[in-house]
Structure 1
Amino acid sequence: MARKKSGGGTPATVVLDRAGIPYVLRGYEHDPAVRSFGLEAAEALGVDPERVLKTLLVQGEDGLGVGIVPVVAQLDLKAVAAALGVKKVAMADPRAAERATGYVVGGISPLGQKKALPTVLDSSALGYDAVLVSGGRRGLDLELAPADLVAVTSATVAAIAREGR
């Protein structure tokens, strides 16, 4: 996968550049009225929504963690808790997620967050040559190999998605 660059990098692109990981910037015009950011990206980019991943933050007894699942799925809280090695998690408060990552909801990337958080990638992502994650702002996705996503985030891979949005 060739690396494509354009002006206005984000912390996510900086992390990938520093690690020497190839990626493709995939930009689109974000509609502020849309609330399903991942499905908007899939449609705008003409990509199978199973390949477009959303980054969700959870709160456990030990702090925040990250779950990455396809935009057409829901995060299975029990499964992500087990993968993180804790008893129970709940969805993190959006404001806490923004503070911890440095990104706004709808543009939270699993890459280049303010603090490295324990991360779990849904195992379905490994079935694709390339997946898309937020590039750090609404209207910008990064396409990269799932193995590279695992490597750069030090993610655990587990079945943490369930059907539905």
Structure 2
Amino acid sequence: MAKKKRTGAQAGPGTPATVALTAAGIPYTAHAYVHDPQVSNYGLEAAAALDVDPDRVFKTLLAVANGRLLVGIVPVSRMLDLGSLAAAAGAKRASMADPALAERKTGYVVGGISPLGQRTASPTFLDDSAAAWATIFVSGGRRGVDLELAPDDLLRVTGGRLAPLAR
């Protein structure tokens, strides 16, 4: 059984991300914080609210390469290098996915897109800097909720792999 710790009322009922982790038997901790609707940098907001190093909090970004959706997960303190993501996926180039497409394919809203429990599974790549941490934080499937888990567990449940993605 997965270890769950809900911190704050906003952790609320499960999301597809927590359901996926529980079904896979992956231990995680849910951390909730009050999201400020005026803030547009969701990842840095999460790092500050949870008092966590921004290099340890990861954002989930979607891109398109060779007509298929890709998931790139990078620290909120850095940017996704689209060329590196394309190379990791064996493509020549990649471009950011349209936000409406990302929301439709994942089932999540921008700012709350989790790499876990997405409606449509896509090839997933985690920046190799995650290997430096025992646990990292990713979106829990809605703004104001992050999930803490081991990078290897994230890769196992998403079928992802490490790659140098951030710049």
Normalising TM by the smaller chain, what interval? Answer: over 0.9
Alignment match of 2:120 (pick from 81, 100, 115): 115
Q: How do residues 1-165 of structure 1 correspond to structure 2 at under 5 angstroms?
A: 2-5=3-6, 7-162=12-167
- 1:23, 1:144 within 8 Å by CA — same for their partners in 2? yes
Q: Could you tell me how far apart the structure 2 residues matched to 1:28 and 1:142 are?
A: 11
Q: Could you tell me how far apart the structure 2 residues matched to 1:62 and 1:13 are?
A: 29
State the Cα distance separating 1:62 from its structure 2 match: 3.0
- 1:104, 1:137 within 8 Å by CA — same for their partners in 2? yes
Q: 5+ unaligned residues in a row in structure 1: which ranges?
A: none
SS at match of 1:32: coil
1:152 is aligned with what amino acid?
V
Displaced runs of 4 or more, over 4 A: none
What's the CA shift string for 1:105-159, capped at 9, x where partnerless? 0000000000110000000001000000000000000000011001011112110
Change (3 A) 1:138 1:7: closer
Please provide the CA RMSD for this pair.
1.2
> How many residues are paired up?
162
2:105 is aligned with what amino acid?
A
Bigger shift: residues 136-145 or 58-67: 58-67
- 2:5, 2:31 within 8 Å by CA — same for their partners in 1? no
